[in-house]
Amino acid sequence: MEKDSKIYLAGHRGMVGAAIWRVLKKKGYSNLIGRTSKELDLRNQKAVFDFIKSEKPDVVIDAAARVGGILANNNYPFQFLMENMQIQNNLIDAAHKLDVKKFIFLGSSCIYPKLAPQPLKEEYLLTDSLEPTNEWYAIAKITGVKACQAIRKQFGKDFVSLMPTNLYGTHDNFDLETSHVLPAMIRKFHEAKENNNSAVTLWGSGTPMREFLFVDDMAASVVFALENELPEYLYNVGTGIDITIKELAETIQKKVGHTGEIVWDSSKPDGTPRKLMDITKMHDLGWKHQVELEEGIEKTYQWFLTNNDSFKQVKM
């Protein structure tokens, strides 16, 4: 991939997109294109097609999505299903019809069955039922994976899908209504510390196990996929290491400096019991994560402190 290749990064202002943009710039890529949602509505098929036709990018990276945790997925199933399908289908279809050379699609580990064997291998896709609390988002992402696979199979084009584990990092979403577990914990523990170290109530039992990948490592995997022609259509991206939610909470509590009580609300859902990615395929190709969890939490918390005043409630 030439450093002046034209790269359109959809979702360049989101947590993942912003990290990819930073890493690409750092590596010397000079011809990056980004559009805000106000400038280009990715749900609008004609607008997306006209944009790709006009700009003629060599590469499209799809880091755009409607995302959220268990609560948001439960409360807004139609939006999570429909808007994600609209965004990715418009980008994939336009990239194919207008002969974009390379397409990188970003999904999520939630595409795999709820009770699939651990760690999760790429071949477990569509072998059993999904986790009900986020099946709407998962189904949308599965259709994106399959669309890229179909184009690859039928037309031989370099369309590849990367499935990250749970991501976190700078520019994360700290809105308690829509955020994922790690940033939500950072905010809860911080606000409890500020409130005389009051007790923090967390969802579930604390026993589920989760794997977490710092967003800059995810960005590095995208650049790896950009600079190499990956031989298969689907790759897991993660650390290959997981911890319990209880251990995560205690680690964040320590980093934040909260000394109050943790209360586990077992009336709330746990989600999938365990979700660890098998990352053998990416390791065999030469990619590996660099940032360990404690370092990543520290970086994320420092970013949170710097930007705490700017957070607003996200309207659905």
Annotated binding-site members = 11-17, 106-109, 141, 164-167, 180, 188, 203, 210, 270
Which one is catalytic: 137, 233, 235, 301?
137
- Give yes or no: 137 in active site: yes
Which amino acids are annotated as binding site for NADP(+), given as ranges? 11-17, 106-109, 141, 164-167, 180
How many whole angstroms separate alpha carbon 126 and alpha carbon 248? 29
Helix or strand or coil: residue 203? strand
Q: Which helix (H) or strand (E) holds 262?
A: strand 262-265
How many whole angstroms separate alpha carbon 185 and alpha carbon 89? 33
Q: What's 195's DSSP letter?
A: T
Q: Which helix (H) or strand (E) holds 60?
A: strand 59-62
Task: Return the ∠ at Cα 73 (arms to 69 and 75), rounded to 5°.
Answer: 120
Asked if the peptide bond before residue 119 counts as cis, ω within 30 degrees of 0, the response is yes
Instruction: Output the CA–CA distances (angstroms, integers) from residue 170 to 40, 131, 175, 190, 219, in the order listed.
Output: 24, 27, 14, 16, 12
Terminal-residue alpha carbon distance, the chain? 38
Nearest Cα residue to 103 out of 281, 233, 262: 233
Contact present, 149 and 161 (Cβ < 8 Å): yes
Nearest Cα residue to 242 out of 190, 179, 182, 172: 182
Q: Which residues are catalytic?
A: 137
